[in-house]
Amino acid sequence: MPEIHTKASAIGHAECLVIGGGVIGSSIAYHAAREGHNTIMLERLLPGEGASKAAVGMLAAESEEFTDPELARFARTSRDAFPELVRELERLSGVSVEFRTEGFVTPFRSETEGHERWKAARTQENDHAEWWDARELARRIPGLDRQTIGAIYRSKETQLAPVQLCRAYAGAAAVLGASIWSGTHAKQLVVQNGRIRGVVTDKGFFTCNQVIIAGGLDSMQLLEQVGFHYPLYPVKGEAIAVSLKEHPLEYTIYADDIYLVPKQNNELWIGATSLPHHDNDEVTIAGLTGLLARASAWLPRVREASFIRTWAGLRPQAAAERPFIGAVPGLEGVYAAVGHYRNGVLLSDATGRAMAALLAGAGAVELGISGFSAECL
Ligand SMILES: Cc1cc2nc3c(=O)[nH]c(=O)nc-3n(C[C@H](O)[C@H](O)[C@H](O)COP(=O)(O)OP(=O)(O)OC[C@H]3O[C@@H](n4cnc5c(N)ncnc54)[C@H](O)[C@@H]3O)c2cc1C
């Protein structure tokens, strides 16, 4: 005999019920609340404890050199919204997201490679990318590998602290009227006559008009419950934080084989390995030694740095190789925002904003996200 769930027995009701408090779910909760939707966010742990906790926090819209034009546009729109977004989130939530705006440097050792990549960057990014030759680089980043022939400098690239970003999104959403249910595990979506009625959780039943699945890697099971097959797989990433006591780095170094990201208190975050289908979050010696060897090849003084900590996380990669942001077909009121792989922090603002607009009735085409809808997967 199936359990009967009625509105009367529910412990909460939302117009929009967001499942997952990672960087994607918490951005959706914030943008939905900002648009005036009655919103609840369910997170089985605390906001920012999933893959988002492992992220380094780069908003690398150009340095990523996306080949998919729709994703490239979406990424730039998202990154460009951050200065204003950060002001608003910090004002509302009181949480500092440690936003840094010094820009990113992509160095090269090969003349041919460097000049080809610079030519491509100049064509696509025209206004603000610069070429720094070896002399300029030596002035800007003392101690960089002497074999570096030059670098692309991208002044608009920014970075921040991802866990704080999740907390700031969630905190700001709460100030705007959303309810944040940490420690609440969504177990079962309840669909009747082709439309969402609510969600069964370990705390009780929530009714809702719209549900948004933003549970990172674990979204797959929730989507399967409503008959939608969207395969995701983990891509493990390991990273390490060290302390550069003298001459802390100013710019983020975004090389092809490694990135070095300066953080508060002279911390330098070095990442990351990329191990598809590895589903544990152990940090291996091979991973760490590889990261440190590549980092110190670009910046030899990393060898003198002191060790702080290491961590690993699982990026939610989609078999379709692009995120799914949209309505689940054939059902009323079921949406998902998943598969952000290695760019969830970067894409969080645009994803939250687009989802809030979809919930209010806007179309994917008018929002410029039709390539991320179910029909295109
Ligand atoms: C080493 C590393 C470095 C990275 N660096 C960057 C970077 O510099 N820039 C960038 O943009 N991206 C980066 N990423 C990628 C980024 O971390 C992910 O794209 C992003 O965190 C995905 O966010 P999410 O909200 O989809 O998933 P998650 O952060 O995993 O959030 C999903 C949340 O949903 C919750 N949840 C799941 N199921 C349920 C349920 N049934 N009920 C309730 N709650 C549930 C989970 O507890 C979790 O908190 C990096 C990743 C790694 C591993």
Any idea what the CATH number is for the domain that residue 290 is in?
3.30.9.10
Which of 30, 31, 43, 282 to mutate to test ligand 1, by most ligand atoms within 8 A of the CB atom? 43
Q: Is residue 240 domain-shared with residue 188, that is, in the same domain?
A: no
pLDDT at 344 over 80: yes
7 in a domain, yes or no?
no
Neighbours of 235 (CB within 10 A): 22
6 in a domain, yes or no?
no
Q: Which residue has the higher pLDDT, 84 or 248?
A: 84
Q: Is residue 183 domain-shared with residue 310, that is, in the same domain?
A: no
Amino acid at 194: G
Q: Is residue 79 domain-shared with residue 27, that is, in the same domain?
A: yes
Structure letter (DSSP) for residue 147: T
Any idea what the CATH number is for the domain that residue 210 is in?
3.50.50.60
pLDDT attached to residue 246:
79
Strands (E), the chain: 12-19, 39-43, 58-59, 104-108, 129-133, 150-154, 158-159, 179-182, 186-192, 195-201, 204-213, 232-243, 252-254, 259-262, 267-271, 275-276, 306-318, 324-327, 334-338
For the chain, helix, strand, coil in percent to 5 are 35, 30, 35
Boundary (domain end) residue, out of 155, 178, 194? 155
Closest Cα partner for 351 from 376, 320, 372, 334?
A: 372
Tokens 């925002």 identify what position? 337
Is 173 within 8 Å of 30 (Cβ atoms)? Answer: yes
Q: Which residue puts its alpha carbon closest to atom 41 of ligand 1?
A: 186
pLDDT at 248 over 60: yes
Which of 342, 347, 355 to mutate to test ligand 1, by most ligand atoms within 8 A of the CB atom? 342
Geometric angle at alpha carbon 212, from 207 and 213, rounded to 5°: 110
* pLDDT band at 227; cut points 50, 70, 90: very high
pLDDT attached to residue 5:
58
Question: What percent of the chain shows pLDDT beyond 90?
Answer: 93
Cα of 348 from ligand 1 centre, angstroms: 10
Q: How far is 344 from 169, CA to CA, in rounded Å?
A: 14
Q: 374 burial class (0-12, 13-18, 19+ CB within 10 angstroms)?
A: middle
Cα of 145 from ligand 1 centre, angstroms: 33
Domain encompassing residue 310: 233-318
Q: Helices 69-93 and 162-175 meet at what angle, rounded to 10?
A: 60
Q: How far is 96 from 89, CA to CA, in rounded Å?
A: 9
pLDDT attached to residue 377:
77
**pLDDT tens digits along 77-135:** 999 999 999 999 999 999 999 999 999 999 999 999 999 999 999 887 656 799 999 99
Q: Is residue 57 domain-shared with residue 174, that is, in the same domain?
A: yes
How many domains are contained in the chain?
Answer: 3
Q: Which residue puts its alpha carbon closest to atom 25 of ligand 1?
A: 22
The mean pLDDT value of the chain amounts to: 95
**pLDDT tens digits along 288-301:** 999 999 999 999 99
* pLDDT band at 2; cut points 50, 70, 90: very low
3 in a domain, yes or no?
no
Phi, psi of 31, rounded to the nearest 5 degrees: -65, -35
Q: Which residue puts its alpha carbon closest to atom 18 of ligand 1?
A: 344
Cα of 280 from ligand 1 centre, angstroms: 14
Q: Is residue 291 domain-shared with residue 248, that is, in the same domain?
A: yes
**pLDDT tens digits along 164-184:** 999 999 999 999 999 999 999
pLDDT attached to residue 375:
85
Q: How far is 51 from 43, CA to CA, in rounded Å?
A: 13
4 in a domain, yes or no?
no
Is 198 within 8 Å of 190 (Cβ atoms)? Answer: yes
pLDDT attached to residue 126:
58
* pLDDT band at 40; cut points 50, 70, 90: very high
Cα of 236 from ligand 1 centre, angstroms: 12
Cα of 3 from ligand 1 centre, angstroms: 32
Q: Which residue has the higher pLDDT, 258 or 126?
A: 258
Ligand 1 binding site (Cβ under 6 Å of any ligand atom): 19-25, 42-45, 49-52, 54-58, 185-186, 214-216, 218, 237, 239, 271-272, 313, 315-316, 340-346
pLDDT attached to residue 8:
61
Boundary (domain end) residue, out of 155, 172, 193? 155
Q: Which residue puts its alpha carbon closest to atom 49 of ligand 1?
A: 50
**pLDDT tens digits along 316-333:** 999 989 999 999 999 999
pLDDT attached to residue 1:
38
Q: Is residue 70 domain-shared with residue 117, that is, in the same domain?
A: no
Q: Is residue 237 domain-shared with residue 227, that is, in the same domain?
A: no
Q: How far is 284 from 65, CA to CA, in rounded Å?
A: 29
Amino acid at 210: Q
Phi, psi of 228, rounded to the nearest 5 degrees: -110, 125
pLDDT attached to residue 159:
98
Give start and end residues of each alpha helix (H) in 43-144: 51-54, 69-93, 111-125, 134-140
